[in-house]
A and B are shown apart, each in its own frame.
Chain A
Amino acid sequence: MTKQIRSPLPGTFYRKPAPDQPNFVEDNAGVKAGEVIGLVEVMKSFHEVKAEEDGNNVRFLADNEAPIMAGAVLAEMD
């Protein structure tokens, strides 16, 4: 079954903690519930986005530094 990870906030999505660091989660990796999968920058403050459940084969639909709306699907996983 396909699961979705949505952004709780509107803003700019980041897949890594800083420009010179690796992604929180690589494409096709697995995640545990509560694991940070990215950051959303809203009005210059940064908020973590966490996976709400375990999943495998994560596929990101939002690019690094993409503008997103609240509720946007950031990634799908199995």
Chain B
Amino acid sequence: MDLTGKTLFIANRGEIAVRINRAAKALGMKVAQAYSEADADMLAVRLSDDAYEVGPPQAAKSYLDIGRLLEAASQSGADAIHPGYGFLSENAEFAGAVDEAGMVFVGPAAETIALMGDKAAARAAAVRAGTPVAPGSDGRIETPADARAVADRIGFPLMIKAAAGGGGRGIRIARNQEDLERLVPQARSEAQAAFGDGGLYLERLLENARHVEVQILGDGKRAIHLFERECSLQRRRQKVWEEAPAVCLSDDQRQSICEASVKLAESVSYRGAGTLEYLFDPGAGTFAFLEMNTRVQVEHPVSEFVTGVDIVQEMIRLAFGESLSLSQNDVSRNGHAIEVRVNAEDPMNNFMPFPGVVGAMSVPDNVRFDTMLYEGYAIPPFYDSLLGKLIVHGETRADALSKLQAALAEFKIEGLKTTLPLYEMLALDPDVAADKFHTQFLENWLETHLSVPA
């Protein structure tokens, strides 16, 4: 389908709005951009053909207001709406409302979002498709007796998870029977308050595991994978550093998890770009399905670097009903990519947020910097702290790491505190260089390596 001249409405902000803008322009589309009162000066507004204010700074009254967004989108004459990540990107009601308003939602069908958004139902879908999962409950647990029975079967430590949670939210860890008795009622009322759904399920906790995730693309019938990413370096369950490929996997392990992911995506007739997240136990060589994200991910550029596929362009084409243009055999891996998330936080002061005015910037050559920044931009305090992503590509992991070190030594952003100094230290760390880390590594590392004033 020729998308030239069609209008894409971007219902998001920050660096991802800029990224989506670039993909839309490459497809010959016109861009209409939503913005809150606090975002009138943002880069994505400046790069758009048309921009529409959708409400006050608070996200609940702007970027999360379905009515306001749809009104602005239809005013812009949009053919399609891209939700980006976060905000309404995994909101089935929004996807359905966009569809009903006669526009294309750039993402899977509302029913797929609803299915995968219920984490207990997603786990059940994974089991049906033969995807490896951690030992756990079959669907939701309804009574304390259910919880005890599951715990007897799978053992401790285990995670009590909210069915409506996800992204690391709504998780409690029980190390014994006593914890379980105490935490299940607490978790239920918290999940009810936080998500409006008190449903819980249980899963065995894997400790010292690695976070490995598989990027897939689907057209509703067929799906392919774009290989995997390694995202174990996390703080407070938020990824800060991502790589492709995951060099901790053998070729057989890589092939098996990528194929299992394609099978799961096809089993739910997946359309668009999606990610299947797993924990990988390097000792046992086993995977456990965590969740599926039905949207573009922050860390998509590392997969773009190693496969050469433009994921954001592909997801727009797929949303308009095109069939996959690639077959699995067309996708190959080339080299190694590393991304670090540049946040407006001071790593030397307990990651205190630092909304400020961007001074002189010097970005090294030969790197990709996906960003919302420009010199003189006043960063609003109302949204998350992600300013941009620095991505490097090398022939091998060692080569990518040395390119990252060189880039970080040159990279300067005046006027702000950012997490760049943290990455300078991590890029020189022997354990990081040796690929010896897991999902709890960074928090321990921060305690021993960063002198944090009390």
Q: Interface on A for B, CB 8 Å cutoff? A: 9-12, 20, 42-45, 65, 67
Contact = CB atoms under 8 A, between A and B. Distances in A.
Interface centre among B351, B353, B355 (most CB of A within 10 A): B353
B383 interface: yes
A42 B381 contact: yes
Contacts, number: 37
A9 B381 contact: yes
Contacts of B344: 43
B382 interface: yes
A13 to B, nearest CB: 11
Chain A contact residues: helix, strand, loop or mixed: loop
Nearest to A19: B193
B439 to A, nearest CB: 21
Given A10-B355, A12-B58, A44 B384 contact: yes
Interface centre among A12, A20, A65, A67 (most CB of B within 10 A): A67
Contact of B353 (A12, A20, A43, A65): A43
B383 A43 contact: yes
Interface of B: 38, 56-58, 193, 344-345, 351-353, 355, 381-385
A60 B384 CA distance: 27
A10 B381 contact: yes
Contact of A45 (B57, B58, B193, B353): B353
Contacts of A43: 344-345, 353, 355, 381-385
A21 to B, nearest CB: 11
A20 B38 CA distance: 27
Contacts of B345: 43
A11 B351 CA distance: 16
Contacts of B38: 67
Given A10-B355, A20-B193, A44 B385 contact: yes
B382 A67 contact: yes
Nearest to B37: A67
